[in-house]
Amino acid sequence: MKYSDLVAVYAELEQTTKRLEKTAILASFLKKTQESDLDMVILLLQGKVFPSYDEAKLGVAAKLVIRAISTASGLTPAKLEQDWKKTGDLGLVAERMIHGKVQATLFSQELMVKKVFDNLKKLSSLSGAGTVDQKVKLLSELLTSAKPEEAKFIVRTVLEDLRVGIAEGTLRDSIVWAYLYQGNIEEKNQVENREDYKKVVEAVQEAYNATNDFATVAKAAKKGLPAVQDISISVGSPLQVMLAQKETTIDDAFSRVGRPAALEYKYDGFRMLIHKHEGKYALYTRRLENVTAQFPEVVNFIRDNVNGSNFIIDAEAVGFDAKTNQYLPFQHISQRIRRKYGILELAKKLPVELNVFDVLFLNGKSLIKEPFSKRRDTLAKIVTERPKKIILAHQLITGENKDAQKFFEAAIKAGNEGIMFKALDAPYKPGSRVGHMVKFKSAMETLDLVIVGAEWGEGKRKGWLTSFTLACKDEDEFKEIGKVGTGIKELEEEGLSFNELTETLKPYILSGKGKEVRIKPHVILEIKFEEIQASTSYGSGYALRFPRVLRERTMEKGLKDVSDLDLVKRLYAQQKKV
Ligand code: ATP
């Protein structure tokens, strides 16, 4: 396929913000795409060259892109930087520069999708000193053969900032429209609530949740619905975890999952999906990042105490105080997740206990369709408990409110966040929030907000980003809702620190003016607050009174999980009633 065909689709998508129109554009494009191109095209449509679970990253900085544009266009980096400051989009800069020298490229070859894809992949395989020149060469080679609009999208892909806004749901629906549902757009608009249509969409979503790979799903969809329904989880490939609904009374929790139910401590730790595959162990976060290297002791706990030639186990790793044995809140172990050096020392200083609560795959067989009670029995058979290393999640089976209340109090006393209610007869649904498990916490509602700006500190906070501008989500946009500086620590030992947060944010800085910087939405914080106020100061129309950072949640949550404006509005209305 020619790269220009894909670029035409990007351009069309850029023209509309309407979900149904985007779906139609994508569907007709997918229909035309040959099977051999599907893997590449589906990733590139999402602005990626690696599936989200792959650790490989493009890792290309703006400075390197400027050098490549400079090589391809003959313009100086200084001139390009100037233009970049004005537009805030290096893609546009590339487009204009290439436009200026269009004559020279008149005879160059047509750029193919495969060439773009391969060169971008090669970029990521180069790392370390002395590879910068090679990277510049690979990229400038592409830009030299690109037409202006192609250059724009190559640069945006490299910087992982495609700006054409395809949400996961849109891509999913377009696969349905392309292969599994016939009819024109007007009709499709009306079928969204029809049971048969919903069933097909659900099957596609489930297949995606099990594989995290839309290309695999699309290829199956091409064969028909049964092929999609046949897709299941497989050991070694990360899958999305099942999520919990929330209830605020014990009665409501029971009515969601049925009586009796399995009640478990809700540990305030870090979700871990553990795979044993071909003798090797891999630990994935809820966002499918591989954290095996950061938790070597957990690998040992599993190796020594879990039986099975291959398996997938769902668990929560919880920090505890080595002296008092009390559980510690999540932020105490948050440093462990990104640590690249001194891992063993940190593991000693901030130990974790693995609380296992589910088994999804064992000895070559998926167990997700089996009832939870049976999965838990299986888990108990394969795990040898070792307190402060690996234990089964503390569980009580009951249908009584009284017992549930007591269990909840005991959970809080032991340093947990609350309890979970789980339906005994329910299957495991990867990636879904279907209500097979319900969380019941004592704390008030918090918001998960994304950082879109910050300020450089002064005096003793020099070199750190300090005040952080937060945004909530409104469809595909982010709208500001306030600034926060409270709750972040000056010392690393005390939890999430300014230094740690600054280092995390640095790669996402888009531009700066004086003390202020604009930040590409990526890093998510859980925020507590006293009250929500109506406000004209922020784009959302609301502001938070006394916001405070509880913890960073980027490892667990993606941009699609950022709290949305509807929730803010609901909470605002609720507090007015009280
Ligand atoms: P979301 O509902 O989007 O997950 P959240 O991350 O704020 O929002 P939590 O309040 O963290 O939700 O509740 C769900 C999380 O609780 C799970 O993802 C898991 O990490 C954790 N958890 C702790 N103990 C258990 C348990 N026994 N069973 C299942 N999950 C548990």
* Predicted pLDDT of residue 493: 75
For the stretch 213-267, pLDDT in tens is: 999 999 999 999 999 999 999 998 889 999 999 888 899 999 999 999 999 999 9
Residue 386 and residue 295 share a domain: yes
For the stretch 317-370, pLDDT in tens is: 999 988 888 888 887 888 898 888 899 999 999 999 999 999 999 999 999 999
- Which residue's CA is the closest to the ligand 1 atom numbered 2? 244
Alpha helices, H only, 15-101? 19-32, 35-45, 62-73, 77-87, 90-100
Residue 556 and residue 509 share a domain: yes
Residue 549 and residue 428 share a domain: no
Best substitution site from 240, 241, 243 to test ligand 1's pocket, by max atoms within 8 Å of Cβ?
Answer: 243
d(CA 316, CA 285): 10
Residue 397 phi/psi, 5-degree rounding, is -100, 120
Final residue of a structural domain among 440, 457, 488: 440
Structure tokens at 552: 């960073």
* Predicted pLDDT of residue 365: 95
d(CA 373, CA 425): 6
For the CA of 422, the closest atom of ligand 1 is: 28
Distance 264 CA to ligand 1 centre (A): 11
d(CA 89, CA 86): 8
Distance 557 CA to ligand 1 centre (A): 11
Asked whether residue 576 carries a pLDDT value surpassing 80, the answer given is no
| 264 lies in some domain | yes
| 196 lies in some domain | no
Distance 335 CA to ligand 1 centre (A): 19
> Where do we find the tokens 């790979």?
213
Residue 527 and residue 452 share a domain: yes
* Predicted pLDDT of residue 374: 98
* Mean pLDDT within 96-121: 78
Asked whether residue 92 carries a pLDDT value surpassing 60, the answer given is yes
* Predicted pLDDT of residue 194: 81
Q: Which of 126-140, 501-515, 537-551 has the highest mean pLDDT?
A: 537-551
Final residue of a structural domain among 407, 425, 440: 440
CATH of the domain at 555: 2.40.50.140
Distance 286 CA to ligand 1 centre (A): 10
Closest Cα to residue 209, out of 181, 245, 168? 168
More confident residue, 53 or 242: 242
For the stretch 429-476, pLDDT in tens is: 999 898 999 999 876 689 999 999 999 999 889 999 999 999 999 987
Asked whether residue 105 carries a pLDDT value surpassing 60, the answer given is no
* Predicted pLDDT of residue 65: 92
| 542 lies in some domain | yes
Instruction: Give the confidence band of 507 by pLDDT, cuts at 50, 70, 90.
Output: confident
More confident residue, 185 or 435: 435
Instruction: Give the confidence band of 477 by pLDDT, cuts at 50, 70, 90.
Output: confident
For the CA of 264, the closest atom of ligand 1 is: 27
| 219 lies in some domain | no
Strand pairing of 280-284 and 270-277? Answer: antiparallel
Q: Label each residue of 395-458 as H, E or C.
A: EEEECCHHHHHHHHHHHHHCCCCEEEEECCCCCCCCCCCCCCEEEEECCCCCEEEEEEEEEEEC
Mean pLDDT over the full length of the chain: 90
For the CA of 553, the closest atom of ligand 1 is: 6
Q: List 262's β-bridge partners, or say none.
A: 397, 422
For the stretch 264-298, pLDDT in tens is: 999 999 999 999 999 999 999 998 889 999 999 99
Distance 256 CA to ligand 1 centre (A): 17
* Mean pLDDT within 136-157: 93
Burial of 441 (0-12, 13-18, 19+ CB in 10 A): buried
For the stretch 4-30, pLDDT in tens is: 999 999 999 999 988 889 999 999 999
The residues, any chain, with a CB within 8 Å of residue 363's CB and separated by 6 or more, are: 308, 309, 310, 311
For the CA of 393, the closest atom of ligand 1 is: 27
Best substitution site from 421, 439, 556, 562 to test ligand 1's pocket, by max atoms within 8 Å of Cβ?
Answer: 439
| 148 lies in some domain | no
Residue 453 and residue 421 share a domain: no
Residue 513 phi/psi, 5-degree rounding, is -145, 115
For the CA of 448, the closest atom of ligand 1 is: 7
Within a 10 A sphere around the Cβ of 359, how many other Cβ atoms? 28
Residue 493 and residue 434 share a domain: no
Final residue of a structural domain among 407, 440, 473: 440
| 429 lies in some domain | yes
Asked whether residue 425 carries a pLDDT value surpassing 70, the answer given is yes
What one-character DSSP code corresponds to residue 218?
H
Structure tokens at 437: 């498990």
* Predicted structure pTM score: 0.80
Instruction: Give the confidence band of 556 by pLDDT, cuts at 50, 70, 90.
Output: confident
* Predicted pLDDT of residue 87: 83
- Which residue's CA is the closest to the ligand 1 atom numbered 10? 439
Asked whether residue 107 carries a pLDDT value surpassing 50, the answer given is no
d(CA 479, CA 466): 20
d(CA 483, CA 261): 42
Longest dimension (CA), the chain: 80
* Mean pLDDT within 83-97: 88
Residue 335 and residue 456 share a domain: no
Asked whether residue 578 carries a pLDDT value surpassing 50, the answer given is no
Instruction: Give the confidence band of 541 by pLDDT, cuts at 50, 70, 90.
Output: very high
- Which residue's CA is the closest to the ligand 1 atom numbered 26? 266
| 90 lies in some domain | no
Best substitution site from 242, 245, 256, 266 to test ligand 1's pocket, by max atoms within 8 Å of Cβ?
Answer: 266
Residue 531 and residue 473 share a domain: yes
* Predicted pLDDT of residue 58: 74
Residue 566 belongs to what domain range? 447-577
* Predicted pLDDT of residue 359: 98
Give the DSSP letter string of 252-273: HHHHHH-SSEEEEEE-SSEEEE
Residue 436 and residue 451 share a domain: no
More confident residue, 495 or 101: 495
Torsion angle, alpha carbons of 388, 393, 394, 400, to 10: 170
Are the C-beta atoms of residues 181 and 188 closer than 8 Å to each other?
yes
Residue 381 and residue 517 share a domain: no
Distance 246 CA to ligand 1 centre (A): 10
Distance 243 CA to ligand 1 centre (A): 7
Structure tokens at 195: 């049971």
Best substitution site from 285, 316, 358, 564 to test ligand 1's pocket, by max atoms within 8 Å of Cβ?
Answer: 316
Residues noted as catalytic: 266
- The structural domain count of the chain equals 2
Asked whether residue 115 carries a pLDDT value surpassing 80, the answer given is yes
* Predicted pLDDT of residue 329: 82
For the CA of 244, the closest atom of ligand 1 is: 2
More confident residue, 53 or 231: 231
| 229 lies in some domain | no
Distance 272 CA to ligand 1 centre (A): 11
Residue 460 and residue 373 share a domain: no
Distances (CA, A) of 252 to 258, 419, 543, 574: 10, 14, 31, 19
CATH of the domain at 413: 3.30.470.30
Distances (CA, A) of 419 to 158, 354, 394, 409, 551: 43, 17, 10, 9, 20
- Which residue's CA is the closest to the ligand 1 atom numbered 16? 266
Cis peptide leading into residue 260 (ω within 30°): yes
Q: Which residues approach ligand 1 with their CB closer than 6 A?
A: 243-244, 264-267, 271, 286, 316, 357, 393, 420, 439, 556, 561
Structure tokens at 223: 């064969």
Residue 453 and residue 397 share a domain: no
